[in-house]
Chains A and B, each alone.
Chain A
Amino acid sequence: MTSIKDKILQRFLAADGEPISGQQLADELLVSRTAIWKHMQALQQDGYTFEVVKKKGYKLLAKSNKLDEMQIAAHLTTARYGHKIHHYDEVDSTQILAHEFIRNGAADGTVIIAEKQTAGRGRMQRPWDSAEGHGVWMTTIIRPNVLPHQAPQFTLVTAVALVHAISDVCQNFKPSIKWPNDILINGKKCAGILTEMVAEADRIQALLVGTGINVNQQQEDFPEELHSIATSMAIEEGQKIDRAVFVAKFLGHLEHFNDIYVKEGFAPIKTLWEAASGTIGKHVRATTLREVIEGQAIGITEAGVLEIRTANGEIKSVYSADIEVK
């Protein structure tokens, strides 16, 4: 159920800057003008700015800078993904929250999004810098009807979806994928993906697709030690990106490519992944818990596994590692 407040916001977003009168809103939504006024106050609390236009009503001047449900919904083209969005100002980690939502039966495509994470995590629980307002820190809960051993490929599918979404809103560069799914722009990291699976032996309950995407940070927003290795879409594009449009595009591609993987298998995704890969053909160093493998990345298998040819001609399959592209 959409609340009255959300319905009012929907009308203003659709009006595209044209004024709407309080009376008109009250008539359409079957509530009193006082109620409309109260909801408008609440919207201003949320960060929306309105101007009163004489005899015409209210005009939406500026959208809230928050990535709230209504703003994303205005651009969504999906059948399922993003139809339920939980937005928070601050959380420890959207992944931790997502586990709770899964236990409570959250639907396929449910999104948890936060302006700020106090305990964002990457691989091996390494901290992920997720400062306020500039990035997209979100978890998408998906419930695919495949067996658990087919789940790892979804992490490559997510990378393909991200690359397509970034290319939709940025024209000045081409993002690339570092195996398995880091997104780089000009060699610097712009997005990381971490996926968790909740499963029994023979079925997936849910996958928690966690994406940390640097969107509107400027160089000075990153801590000094990250300057040489991290970047944002805005830095590389040379202008601010509308985060709501970007998230809607991402969810569109993610739903589309996930459905393709479930229906047709990994082959079509593999082709798209390879087209965006910045790893294949390069000299790489893969660091695992037990060894360091160095050599040429010759490709990925039908399961998405990285294959490296070492100096002595041996081909090693890599399932989990930190990859350094030389």
Chain B
Amino acid sequence: MFKIQEIREIIKLVDASSIDEFVYEENGAKVKLKKKGNVTEVVVPKKEVVAPAPAPIAPVVEAAPTPVATPAASAPVEKAPVNENTDLHKITSPMVGTFYQAPNPDSPAYVKVGDKVGEETIVCIVEAMKLFNEIEAEVKGEIVEILVKDGQLVEYGQPLFLVKAE
């Protein structure tokens, strides 16, 4: 679980930054911060912390408060999404690259507006230099809007989809 000092530190950093929304998840515990004008809201869902799942991956972001600063500083300008409804979850691109709606030009799109998605549903591919990245929804809900076009170059952090989370 998070220490109260850590959460306090995160709030301070997010508050001082230009980002509107911040989510940090570790071992089943999740901190989600959303800014509404000048109000900062803190949501800590009371998720049962089960025995720490064996993490097969080298923990990249374990060193507590520092990771907050880095993504915030390097986060690119969030292009104003068409839909300003803050209740909608944005699926963003993890890297610069080409957005593909389908695995190949002859296949149907992974998802279309109105489709229900689960956390692990693949919604698109972002490719750069023959590195293919299948993007998962990471949220359960319904696709409300697709913000980019097939074959378009997308920026790091650019919103790709709006999802109405369940």
* Chain A interface residues toward B at CB < 8 A: 105, 123-126, 143, 145, 147-149, 151-156, 180-181, 193-207, 288-290, 303-305, 319-320
Contacts and interface: CB of A to CB of B under 8 A. Distances in A.
A152 B129 contact: yes
Nearest to B59: A203
Contact of A155 (B105, B131, B151): B131
Chain B residues touching A, majority SS: loop
Interface of B: 54, 56-58, 60-61, 67, 71, 92, 94-98, 100, 103-105, 107, 127-134, 138, 150-153, 156
Taking each of B132, B134, B151, which has the highest tally of chain A beta carbons within 10 Å of its own beta carbon?
A: B132
Contacts of A197: 131-134
Contacts of B150: 289
Nearest to B152: A290
Given A149-B156, A197-B133, 13 more contacts: A124-B105, A151-B131, A181-B130, A196-B132, A201-B138, A202-B67, A203-B60, A205-B57, A289-B98, A289-B100, A290-B152, A320-B127, A320-B130
B58 to A, nearest CB: 5
A183 B128 CA distance: 18
B140 to A, nearest CB: 16
B76 to A, nearest CB: 10
Contacts of A156: 129
Contacts of A206: 57
B96 A289 contact: no
Contacts of A123: 130
Contacts of B107: 125
A147 B70 CA distance: 11
A194 B128 CA distance: 11
A-B interface, 9 closest residue pairs, ranked by CB to CB distance from nearest: A289-B151, A105-B56, A149-B95, A152-B128, A148-B94, A320-B98, A180-B129, A152-B131, A290-B151
A151 B57 contact: no
Contacts of A289: 98, 100, 105, 150-151
Contacts of B100: 289
A153 B130 CA distance: 10
Contacts of B58: 143, 145
A148 B56 CA distance: 17
